[in-house]
Structure 1
Amino acid sequence: MTAYVTSADGTRIAYDSQGSGPVVILVAGAMQFRAFDPTTSAMAILLAAEGFTVVNFDRRGRGDSAQAPSFTLADTIEDLRSLIGVAGGPAALVGNSSGGSISLAAAAAGLDISELVLFEVPLREEPGGEGAEFLAGLRERIAHGTADETIEYFMKDMPPEWLEGARNSPGWPVMTAMGPSLEADAESLAWTQSAPRAELFSDIGARTLVLVGAETLPIMPQAAESIANNLSHATLGQLPAANHSWEPAVMAKAVAAFLKGMPA
Structure 2
Amino acid sequence: MPTVTSADGTTIAYETTGRGPALILVDGSLCHRDFGPARALAEQLADRFTVHIYDRRGRGASGDTQPWSPEREIDDLAALLDAAGGEAYLFGASSGAVLAADAANRLPGFTRVVLYEPPFIVDDTRPARPATFRPGIEAMIARGDDSGALKTFFRDVGVPGPVVAIMKLTPNWKKLKGLAHTLPYDLTILGDTSRGEPLDSSRWSAVTAPTLVLDGGKSPQYMRNAARALSEALPKGEYRTLPGQTHIIKAKALAPAVKEYLTT
TM-score band, normalised by shorter chain: 0.7 to 0.9
Match of 1:53 among 50, 54, 60: 50
Match of 2:249 in 1: 246
Structure 1 residues 225-244: aligned runs within 5 Å: 225-244=228-247
1:212 aligns to 2:211 (yes or no): no
Report which of the two has the higher share of helix.
1
Check the 8 A contact 1:131/1:190 in 2, yes or no: no
- Structure 1 pair 111/199, CA: closer, same or farther in 2 (3 Å)? same
For this pair of structures, how many residues does the alignment match?
Answer: 257
Cα distance in 2 for residues equivalent to 1:163 and 1:5 = 36
Taking structure 2 as the reference length, what is the TM-score of the superposition? Answer: 0.88
Match of 1:44 in 2: 42
Check the 8 A contact 1:228/1:236 in 2, yes or no: yes
- Structure 1 pair 159/208, CA: closer, same or farther in 2 (3 Å)? same
Deviation at 1:163, TM superposition (A): 3.0
Match of 1:223 among 226, 229, 233: 226
Is 241-250 or 216-225 further displaced after alignment?
241-250
Structure 1 residues 132-171: aligned runs within 5 Å: 133-161=132-160, 163-171=164-172
Deviation at 1:175, TM superposition (A): 0.5
1:180 aligns to 2:181 (yes or no): yes
Check the 8 A contact 1:46/1:248 in 2, yes or no: yes
Check the 8 A contact 2:199/2:233 in 1, yes or no: no
Check the 8 A contact 1:72/1:183 in 2, yes or no: no
Cα distance in 1 for residues equivalent to 2:44 and 2:155 = 34
Secondary structure class of the residue paired with 1:242: coil
Deviation at 1:131, TM superposition (A): 7.1
Match of 1:258 in 2: 261
Alignment deviations for residues 31-68 of structure 1 (CA, whole Å, 9 cap, x no partner): 1111112x421220221202x11100011111111554
Deviation at 1:165, TM superposition (A): 4.2
Check the 8 A contact 1:130/1:190 in 2, yes or no: no
| Residue type of the alignment partner of 2:93 | N
Match of 1:79 in 2: 76
Match of 1:15 in 2: 14
Cα distance in 1 for residues equivalent to 2:199 and 2:223 = 19
- Structure 1 pair 30/196, CA: closer, same or farther in 2 (3 Å)? closer
Alignment deviations for residues 53-96 of structure 1 (CA, whole Å, 9 cap, x no partner): 11000111111115543433222111111111111122222111
Cα distance in 1 for residues equivalent to 2:108 and 2:77 = 8
Structure 1 residues 89-104: aligned runs within 5 Å: 89-104=86-101
- Structure 1 pair 241/33, CA: closer, same or farther in 2 (3 Å)? farther
- Structure 1 pair 115/134, CA: closer, same or farther in 2 (3 Å)? farther
Taking structure 1 as the reference length, what is the TM-score of the superposition? Answer: 0.88
Q: Where do 5+ consecutive residues of structure 2 fail to align?
A: none
Secondary structure class of the residue paired with 1:160: coil
| Residue type of the alignment partner of 1:103 | A
Cα distance in 1 for residues equivalent to 2:131 and 2:112 = 28
- Structure 1 pair 217/165, CA: closer, same or farther in 2 (3 Å)? farther
Deviation at 1:144, TM superposition (A): 3.2
- Structure 1 pair 191/205, CA: closer, same or farther in 2 (3 Å)? farther
Match of 1:6 in 2: 5
- Structure 1 pair 241/69, CA: closer, same or farther in 2 (3 Å)? farther
Check the 8 A contact 1:71/1:183 in 2, yes or no: no
Cα root mean square deviation, aligned? 2.3
- Structure 1 pair 20/14, CA: closer, same or farther in 2 (3 Å)? same
Cα distance in 1 for residues equivalent to 2:93 and 2:177 = 20
Match of 1:113 in 2: 110
Is 250-259 or 105-114 further displaced after alignment?
105-114
Deviation at 1:238, TM superposition (A): 1.4
Alignment deviations for residues 131-152 of structure 1 (CA, whole Å, 9 cap, x no partner): 7543333333333342112222
Is 151-160 or 180-189 further displaced after alignment?
151-160
